[in-house]
Structure 1
Amino acid sequence: MSNHPSSIPELSDSSIRYFQAYNESLGLWPVRCKSFYVSTRFGQTHVIASGPEDAPPLVLLHGALFSSTMWYPNIADWSSKYRTYAVDIIGDKNKSIPEDLSGTRTGYANWLLDVFDNLGIEKSHIIGLSLGGLHTMNFIMRVPERVKSAAILSPAETFLPFRDDFYKYALSLTEPNGVEKFLSWMMGDRNVLNPNFVKQFQAGVMWQDGSRNPSPKADGFPYVFTDEELQSVKVPILLLLGEHEVIYDPHSALHRASSLVPGIKAEIINAGHILSMEQPAYVNKRVMRFFST
């Protein structure tokens, strides 16, 4: 574990702008935190830790292009009871540094296992939103003995394929007004993102780096789990979906999850895709209540 990566690639202007915007977003973090890197076989992984060092661990996995800074509306509540580790998902736009990323589902599970091992986490609760929710389910499938329970929020695919609209807006992100159109589509008139965070999101979109957001693989992500995979889950799961979800039909996703995943607790709340930022007070309490049962 180190405060700085062992090797820092030469930075481009766009990456410098991104890191500056990331640091500005981290300024929204309402509690004390420690930012550092852990080594994995797939590269250096950036982590933001908060809360009492002797408290039970809670790992947070963010949505695509949002980075760990997205948890600023939630972290005060969660770190009051847990030692939280907000992990920058390797291969996405954030401060982690991919070095030998396989991009497969097995590879991503091994990456997160390395993170757990190097943080000294034997077993943890996990919260994952969107891409982070997909990573959480993938990890649960492969290393269930390391997970106490999990809250999966608006998971990317996982239960249902993306609607075509998702690809239309996602592929248009770098076009003029692409970010504004994407966020408007995803959040409607409920947009509650801080301007600093929007600036970071924009900088991440414009940062072109082939080692981040690698090309999809047949055995990678995005992915819809099979009936058999979902029926094999052995970890307690809370699934929260937004009534105003646009990437798939939330009612159909809830039905499939509830029908297949043993013991899952699932509900739809009055929010859109980024429900932890839209309804932080409710989500914070609901997740904490689930973890305490």
Structure 2
Amino acid sequence: MSNHSPITPDLSDSGIRYFQAYDESLGLWPVHYKAFYVSTRFGQTHIIASGPEDAPPLVLLHGALFSSTMWYPNIEDWSNKYRTYAIDIIGDKNKSIPADLCGTRAGYADWLLDVFDALGIEKSHIVGLSLGGLHTMNFVLRAPEKVENAAILSPAETFLPFHHDFYQYALSLTEPDGVENFLTWMMTDRNVLHPVFAEQFHAGVMWQDGLRQPKPNADGFPYVFTDDELKSVKVPILLLLGEHEVIYDPQSALHRASTFVPGIEAEIIKQAGHVLSMEQPQYVNERVLRFFSK
């Protein structure tokens, strides 16, 4: 099913364990894929491509610590219509290999522009969840000519600051039961993570790698966009939030987005929390396709 690039990064034992767990998660990918690297000025970026090569492009940007393998419940439906490119965000825990971290908002947009150029993408649809949703909004504001339209799912900050509980649980991830406590807080009894994927998440948390844990930057992420920035959006946006979101109040996020982003379509999905693409994949898959087909 795969075509792996021969790149072999210099990894610690925990990094090797993580790469093995990543490959096991890719075993959940239900359609044919090609896995490869492209070069950017910030390092080697790992990509999982699926779908017809001549179909319109759809770029997927994952949540923090989840990697591109998180899209396994969505990729079959989306790859039926699009050439999907699930991109491992450089600097996060995944298979991308950072050389020079692009820690600023402008730098991250430049990184994604490099990826688009390497893939030969003139203009693409984009789906981003959590950290990937934040990257998507940043890219929409900095390179709108490259974005057909965008679906932003449970974005990290973007519209509202994180609830203080987020930092409490995130900072405790590496403690005993930290991963389990974090997932229980985020998903409660809706935890739908496949055991193989859950193991990859745990391995990513335990993989201590300075290049893949960028330090906070005053001009970086996380970030809440200003009213004027949101008003300047020129790309059609779909915002999906879960009714059980815990990183901030979803109703307040929806209200702020609807108030300032021109023409945004925004809704709150029932029986879903932060990782709504995995919690309600059938609905999310169809809703995104409907939006992109307009």
- TM range, normalised to the smaller chain? over 0.9
* Residue equivalent to 2:275: 274
Aligned partners of 2:102 and 2:111 also within 8 Å: no
* Residue equivalent to 1:67: 67
What is the count of residue pairs matched by the alignment? 291
Q: TM-score, normalised by structure 1?
A: 0.98
* Residue equivalent to 1:139: 139
SS of match in other structure, 1:28:
coil
Letter of the aligned partner of 1:87 in structure 2?
I
Q: Is 1:157–2:190 an aligned residue pair?
A: no
Q: Within 5 Å, which residues of 2 pair with 1:162-181?
A: 162-181=162-181
Letter of the aligned partner of 1:233 in structure 2?
V
Deviation at 1:101, TM superposition (A): 1.0
Deviation at 1:213, TM superposition (A): 2.0
Aligned partners of 1:5 and 1:44 also within 8 Å: no
Counterparts of 1:53 and 1:272, CA distance in 2: 33
| Deviation digits for residues 49-106 of structure 1 (CA, Å, limit 9, x no counterpart) | 0000000000000000000000000000000000000000000000000001130000
Q: TM-score, normalised by structure 2?
A: 0.98
Q: Within 5 Å, which residues of 2 pair with 1:197-216?
A: 197-216=197-216
Deviation at 1:5, TM superposition (A): 6.2
Aligned partners of 2:51 and 2:84 also within 8 Å: yes
Counterparts of 2:213 and 2:48, CA distance in 1: 21
| Deviation digits for residues 172-202 of structure 1 (CA, Å, limit 9, x no counterpart) | 0000000000000000100000000000000
In structure 2, relative to structure 1, the CA distance for the partners of 1:256 and 1:5 (3 Å cut) is farther
| Deviation digits for residues 255-278 of structure 1 (CA, Å, limit 9, x no counterpart) | 000000000000000110000000
Q: Is 1:28–2:50 an aligned residue pair?
A: no
* Residue equivalent to 2:227: 227
Counterparts of 2:96 and 2:220, CA distance in 1: 19
Deviation at 1:4, TM superposition (A): 2.7
Deviation at 1:10, TM superposition (A): 2.0
Q: Is 1:102–2:102 an aligned residue pair?
A: yes
Deviation at 1:3, TM superposition (A): 4.8
Counterparts of 1:99 and 1:136, CA distance in 2: 22
Aligned partners of 1:5 and 1:37 also within 8 Å: no
SS of match in other structure, 1:148:
strand
Aligned partners of 1:187 and 1:273 also within 8 Å: yes
Q: Within 5 Å, which residues of 2 pair with 1:2-41?
A: 3-4=4-5, 8-41=8-41
| Deviation digits for residues 199-233 of structure 1 (CA, Å, limit 9, x no counterpart) | 00000000000000210100000000000000000
In structure 2, relative to structure 1, the CA distance for the partners of 1:56 and 1:115 (3 Å cut) is same
Deviation at 1:9, TM superposition (A): 3.5
Counterparts of 1:3 and 1:203, CA distance in 2: 21
Counterparts of 1:122 and 1:192, CA distance in 2: 36
SS of match in other structure, 1:64:
coil
Aligned partners of 2:40 and 2:114 also within 8 Å: yes
Aligned partners of 2:237 and 2:263 also within 8 Å: yes
Structure 2 gap segments, 5+ residues each: none
Letter of the aligned partner of 2:202 in structure 1?
Q
RMSD: 0.9
Counterparts of 2:4 and 2:44, CA distance in 1: 11
Counterparts of 1:59 and 1:203, CA distance in 2: 25
Counterparts of 2:57 and 2:10, CA distance in 1: 34
Counterparts of 2:11 and 2:123, CA distance in 1: 36
Deviates more, 1:142-151 or 1:10-19: 10-19
